[in-house]
Structure 1
Amino acid sequence: MSFVRRMVGCLGLRSTTVTRNLSITGRLPCDTLSKTVGNHFSAKLQPGPQLQFVRYATKKAASSRTNDYNSKGKRLGLKKAEGSEVKTGQIIFRQRGTKWFPGENASIGRDHTIFAREPGFVRYYRDPFHPERRLIGVAMFPDMRLPTSHWQPRVRRFGRLPISDPVQAAKEKARISRKEYYGWLRKDELKAQRIAANQKPAPQPEE
């Protein structure tokens, strides 16, 4: 009996399977034991639902490097401080979203970048008409404060300066435009007179 159990344990068989097919009284012949083992494995190989073992790859597959590195900083934030002098087109503030809004003499780009539209001095301020907004503007003069009164006209720069040199002043006074130099204005006047002469007078209503 102990010999049968040892053989069953080595072969991984159930003792009930062996005892059902064999007489365990006395010594077991070798051919009888081999026949029992063969019957057991033949029953296991019969068609039916069976387990399938799949061998998976032991090497990690290559993937994209989306999260393997950090991107470069975008250099957002303040570029010109309060009172800094700026020129036309210079960037004042870089941001994502409109945390700051453009004020007087300033504008906002497609990527929410605020830049100067006029040369002047940077001002960070709030407007009573927009209490929830923080504004960035450009003042024309160093002592000018923003915002200006809502009912007053905006301060504008026309690009005109007084000429102290008399020679340059006389030259500027005698300067003529390009159209005047080439006689284009005179041609336009003659053309307008010719068109007016060819037009027929409107018929007068009969009395």
Structure 2
Amino acid sequence: MSGLLLRFGSGWSSCTRLLPQSLGFPCLAGLTQASDSITQTSNSITQSFVRHASKKAGGSSSNGRDSNPKNLGLKKYGGQKVIPGNIIVRQRGTQFHQGNFVGMGKDHTLFALLEGKVRYHKDKMTGRKTVHVDPVNALLPVHPAFQGSKWEAALSQKGQQGIRQLLAEMKTAKKGISAQQ
């Protein structure tokens, strides 16, 4: 194989290439550095070992990828007292569902809406776990939809007994109306 032997640079940084003569490289006519040289070769291949600048690649480490703790789990247990806003459960998804007087945040965090004691319940049929807050005092708050009605008096004065009594009165009144017709 015949061609042009092209040598760039000098010393350790020199580079040698064998280029076919048939290609014709007009750009090689204007070599600028004094150390660059072109040598004619005929039917021989010249191989030179050249040391290039290099840097050893850094090895990878098998450690150092631990994630930050998410602090999930139960924060208040059954029977513990809570005040409004206390976080009861921090969770991903709904492992525990909200029950009475418990709110749920956008990240499924369960928190207390009233002052009271925490109670956990597991449904035997579905296996669904719910969290409730049992109010400390028997006086339950009244939902705005029921304010100013006879339900408000039953809820605020007598608690559960007042509601049962009111429902019983409504049933007897309904029976009396149907009997008159």
- Give the TM interval when normalised to the shorter protein: 0.3 to 0.5
Choose 1 or 2 for highest CA Rg: 1
**TM-score by structure 2 length?**
0.44
Larger helix percent:
1
Larger strand percent:
2
**TM-score by structure 1 length?**
0.39
